[in-house]
Structure 1
């Protein structure tokens, strides 16, 4: 199936590794021009080198997303380099794993606010697109108990609400907004790879809860995201798409 992504322009914040890197690969393979940023210039350069053989237009830079002006500035430079923006996704995330002021602030500064700032900056460019799409990233930690009291889980639930409200607000501008809620995702440079080595008991206990006996791969999630942001899926907006290999057990109304 031709998803219709060829020639579209995607701005991906925090895509120098993990799920974001996988999405950059899949979109570029579909002919989508891609801009990426992240904390490490080496990692940004690596992603750009990995997708170079697709011959799409690329742009990348390293930045600290916790600084209020960096993400909007990146969006403007990326839109100029790509000639506009059709797709915007922010992947940045942080989790101190503690219910403290510092824990809440860390998630807000590294996860929620960069997403909000990036969407606001991208909106004028998306409004000019015939295939405008935003994806917000939540987590199954937002829908079922996971690791106790976690600011990360609570604020990921807020992301779902934000995406739903945004979808209604931007529909008149023909900008689609959908939320993805992944379960544990395995990438070669993501948190679950680290957990597998550093916390094997926790890793194995989580794996035992997967009815399929395996985690979702980064590529699998990336392909689902690519379909939803593509013109092929143009009627979907305001949806919360759970991609978790059956990890959550709730009925998904």
Structure 2
């Protein structure tokens, strides 16, 4: 299937590791031009160098918790790319323990960076012929689990926010969707850390999934790219759960 993404202009937060990096790679493989950001300048530089042979990719060091810096990056990237067709809010603070600091960090980084990214990108998306907004939430935003609290609440709020965007922006032809991954394993990620630091929790988490294993970043990236494509032109306001049948709730 031709996803009709060749030459499209994509902006993504958090593109140096895990799900974010896999999304960057997947867009590049479809011929899209991609701008991404992350906080660590060295990681951004290394990622851009590693992916340069794969396509047109530009990385920037940005703290998405800094609203002014995030907005400036969107404007600079839109100028470099000649506009924007898709924005993907992928960064998470992964602030799980129930502390005051984690509540503030989750709301600022997970939720408000999504809001600020959309606000800054909207003028550019309105000029696109196939505009799309995608936010990465989590199954922890859909049902209660060990990550309920700062992390899970912020992820639930993201789903509600994007659902409202889909309705508000439909008349402008701008689609907005959420992708909610289940447990996703990659080296250097949170589950790799739990595997060594709390093997009992890791075994419990794996055992809860009917597939008998966790997902990969690539398995999350593929539906993100599909949702961004013109092929998915009738899909807006969806929360696409990518969890290997981990969650049991029925979406109605």
TM-score by length of 1: 0.95
Deviation of residue 245 (structure 1)? Answer: 0.6
Determine the C-alpha separation between the residues in 2 that align with 1:193 and 1:19.
Answer: 14
Alignment correspondent of 1:170: 169
Tell me, which stretches of 5 or more residues in structure 2 are unaligned? none
Instruction: Name the Cα RMSD after superposition.
Output: 1.3
TM-score by length of 2: 0.96
Deviation digits for residues 203-253 of structure 1 (CA, Å, limit 9, x no counterpart): 111000010011111001101111110011111001110100111112232
2:127 counterpart residue number:
128
The answer to whether 1:194 aligns with 2:193 is yes
**CA–CA distance in 2 between the matches of 1:149 and 1:159?**
14
Give me the whole-angstrom Cα distance separating, in 2, the residues matched to 1:63 and 1:207.
34
Residue 54 of structure 2 is matched in structure 1 by: 54
Residues 42-191 of structure 1: pairs in structure 2 closer than 5 A? 42-56=42-56, 58-147=57-146, 149-191=148-190
For the residue of structure 2 that corresponds to 1:146, the secondary structure is coil
Task: Give secondary structure in 2 for the equivalent of 1:216.
Answer: coil
Shift, 1:124, TM fit? 0.5
Three-state SS of the structure 1 residue aligned to 2:179 is strand
SS at match of 2:107: helix
What is the Cα deviation at residue 148 of structure 1? 6.1
C-alpha distance in structure 2 between counterparts of 1:149 and 1:31, whole Å: 38
Asked if 1 retains the 8 angstrom alpha-carbon contact of 2:96 and 2:147, the reply is: no
Unaligned stretches of 5+ in structure 1?
Answer: none
**Residue-by-residue CA offset, 1:148-176 (whole Å, 9 max, x unaligned):** 64121112111111010000111111110
Q: Confirm or deny: 8 A CA contact 1:95 1:106 kept in the other structure.
A: no
On the 8 A contact 2:107/2:150 being kept in 1, the answer is no
Q: How far apart, CA to CA, are the structure 2 residues paired with 1:78 and 1:148?
A: 34
Residue 40 (structure 2) aligns with:
40
Instruction: Write out per-residue CA displacement over residues 37-63 of structure 1, whole angstroms, 9 at most, x where no aligned residue.
Output: 10111211222123211232x221112
Q: SS at 1:102's partner residue?
A: helix
* Number of residue equivalences: 252
